[in-house]
């Protein structure tokens, strides 16, 4: 068996210097039937390694549960990497950031307010111990010294930017080693002296995260780690998008030139991202540095492979640079053809609020939060039967968006992002309904792990409103609530389901045009593509070909805000929005 180690100046593979040329592909953001294609294209670009995070919250949706099926089959992913003759880096956190919901930490962890966040608190560590035991049971037999592809694992993730609990990092390290991990363990931090100092511990190899000025940033890393290989284990070659902003890109020639500088220093690299993929379902996170900013469904990242796995200009620019430092395969990826187009009418398939009445309700004095009602809910539906004069509805804090419905009629929306807390409402004769939407949990910073919902209660003209009936709706509940398709119309009102049928001649990828829709969630053949929103920047949802079937296919939408056109339309190319305002 082979051995991978850290030498005085280089990584060593069986005692010989080995430069790691890696690219990030998150298995959970890519349809598993596309894993081989994406990994092979990494090899054809000149890379020799594939890196991935592990999302604890997807693998363990409830305490004590664990799933490895479908796009969560980490073992199959790593075996696919090995089948392409490549090595692998695994970064299981437990915190991963990744612009992913709650930074990959399960929401159920924080239903107990005493549970710590990213520190040596006993309940937090006990949960991590079970998680890492399960991850390592997959990875340990696939390490390079056991004949597998895994050459490195990372402990935590950019911890120096968050905390300074060195004992916590050491405890995690002991968990890795105690579960049979023998390959070198690393940390990653931005190359700021204070972050590097706080983010590592003895026995762990420091790496850096940055996306420009490679020369000076490698100098900082070397100052804090005099020996061992230099590595940027997150070389940011693009950036993510948030709803309401522009589509972020970086120039291919400039990114390639800086990569050349990095490799010219003899450093190893992990391109973040090589292929970004998609935040399928409701998995995208959010940032909050004074303003809450939810992340888009697309995680294209302006990477060498776009969201649909097609080589970009950056792919070819990087391949040329990599060819100066390694032997390139003769084979290159085939050019991509335009995606199939077409359209079909969207037909109403029932009221969302009426359908939700079929779900069980809980009665409470105050409106419960998500942690109190259901930690993994996509929506909480609060209802109160009463009558009142017109007045001003006030909420302590909205997390994240609430539709206000009086006597069955929508009267307005309050948004966390806009710091909205009050709305003038008409007289109530029968009921007040508040539909609270979770738009993604914060994935970075001090608000990590925070609760969702209507925080601080609900008041009408200053008087508390008590005695509520609440229904919690998870992603899995939503699709089942859609009724059979009804009448077609020129537009869709808000808070309705809609269905459309369309034919597919083959399993080619498609791009669902959302430019004439409002805000909502889309499914095709039961597969949740993710959220769409007229705010942009993205104007298409990526449809992986493997979710389609020959002949008749069905799309379902949950339209929240209302759409000006009741048409399901597919376009030839993705549209991720303007590059600047």
Q: How far is CA 81 from CA 2, 436, 480, in A?
A: 16, 41, 36
Each residue of 567-581: b (16+ CB within 10 Å) or e?
Answer: bbbbbeebbbbeeee
Identify the residue whose tokens are 């084979």.
331
Cβ neighbours for 129, distance < 8 A, ≥ 6 positions apart = 175
Q: Are 504 and 549 in contact (CB under 8 A)?
A: yes
Report how far residue 39's alpha carbon sits from residue 300's, in angstroms, rounded to the nearest whole number: 16
Burial of 236 (0-12, 13-18, 19+ CB in 10 A): middle
Report how far residue 256's alpha carbon sits from residue 259's, in angstroms, rounded to the nearest whole number: 5
Beginning with the edge strand found earlier in the chain, give each strand of the sheet holding 422-425 in spatial order.
422-425, 391-399, 453-460, 463-464
Give the residue numbers annotated as catalytic, written as ranges.
Answer: 158, 234
DSSP 558: E
Neighbours of 408 (CB within 10 A): 12
* 3-class secondary-structure state, position 35: helix
Q: How far is CA 281 from CA 28, 498, 515, in A?
A: 11, 18, 19
- Cα 365 to its chain centre, rounded Å, is 35
- Cα 263 to its chain centre, rounded Å, is 29
DSSP 84-132: TT-EEEEE--S---TTBGGGG--GGGGGSTT--SSS--HHHHHHHHHHH
Q: Output the six-digit token pair for 471.
A: 């229904």
């Amino acid at each position: 068996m082979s051995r991978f180690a850290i030498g005085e100046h280089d990584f060593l593979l069986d005692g010989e210097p080995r430069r790691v040329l890696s690219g990030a592909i998150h298995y959970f953001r890519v349809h598993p039937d596309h894993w081989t294609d994406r990994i092979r294209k990494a090899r054809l670009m000149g890379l020799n390694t594939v890196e991935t995070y592990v999302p604890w919250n997807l693998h363990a949706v409830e305490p004590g549960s664990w799933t490895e099926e479908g796009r969560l089959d980490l073992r199959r992913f790593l075996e696919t990497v090995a089948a392409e003759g490549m090595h692998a880096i695994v970064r299981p956190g437990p915190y991963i950031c990744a612009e992913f919901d709650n930074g990959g930490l399960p929401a159920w962890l924080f239903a107990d307010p005493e549970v710590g966040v990213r520190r040596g608190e006993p309940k937090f560590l006990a949960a991590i111990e079970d998680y890492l035991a399960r991850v390592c049971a997959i990875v340990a037999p696939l390490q390079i010294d056991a004949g597998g592809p895994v050459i490195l694992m990372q402990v935590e993730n950019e911890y120096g930017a968050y905390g300074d609990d060195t004992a916590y990092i050491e405890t995690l390290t002991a968990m890795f080693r105690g579960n049979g991990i023998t390959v070198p363990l690393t940390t990653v931090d931005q190359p700021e002296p204070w972050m590097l100092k706080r983010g590592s511990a003895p026995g762990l190899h420091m790496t850096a995260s940055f996306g420009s000025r490679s020369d000076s940033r490698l100098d900082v890393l070397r100052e804090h780690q005099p020996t061992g290989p230099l590595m940027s284990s997150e070389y940011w070659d693009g950036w993510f998008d948030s709803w309401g902003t522009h589509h972020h890109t970086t120039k291919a020639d400039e990114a390639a030139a800086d990569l050349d500088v990095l490799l010219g220093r003899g450093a190893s690299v992990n391109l973040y991202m090589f292929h970004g993929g998609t935040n399928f379902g409701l998995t995208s996170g959010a940032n909050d540095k004074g303003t809450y900013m939810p992340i888009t469904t697309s995680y294209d990242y302006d990477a060498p492979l776009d969201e649909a796995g097609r080589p970009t200009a950056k792919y070819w620019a990087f391949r040329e640079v990599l060819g100066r430092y390694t032997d390139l395969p003769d084979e290159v990826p085939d050019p991509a053809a335009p995606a199939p187009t077409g359209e079909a009418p969207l037909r109403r398939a029932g009221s969302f609020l009426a359908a939700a009445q079929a779900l069980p309700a809980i009665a409470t004095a105050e409106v419960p939060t998500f942690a109190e009602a259901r930690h993994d809910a996509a929506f909480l539906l609060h209802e109160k039967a009463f009558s009142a004069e017109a007045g001003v509805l006030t909420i302590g804090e909205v997390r994240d968006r609430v539709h206000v419905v009086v006597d069955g009629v929508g009267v307005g929306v309050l948004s966390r992002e806009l710091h909205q807390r009050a709305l003038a409402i008409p007289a109530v004769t029968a009921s007040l309904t508040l539909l609270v939407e979770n738009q993604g949990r914060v994935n970075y910073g001090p608000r990590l792990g925070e609760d969702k919902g209507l925080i601080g209660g609900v008041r009408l003209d200053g008087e508390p409103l008590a005695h509520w009936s609440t229904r919690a709706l998870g992603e899995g509940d939503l699709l089942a609530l859609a009724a059979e398709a009804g009448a077609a119309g020129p537009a869709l009102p808000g808070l309705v389901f809609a269905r459309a049928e369309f034919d597919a001649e083959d399993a080619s990828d498609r791009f669902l045009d959302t430019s004439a829709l409002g805000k909502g969630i889309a499914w095709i053949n039961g597969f949740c593509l993710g959220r769409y929103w007229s705010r942009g920047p993205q104007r298409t949802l990526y449809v992986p070909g493997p979710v389609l079937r020959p002949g008749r296919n069905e799309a379902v939408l949950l339209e929240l805000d209302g759409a000006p056109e009741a048409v399901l339309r597919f376009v030839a190319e993705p549209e991720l929005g303007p590059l600047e305002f």
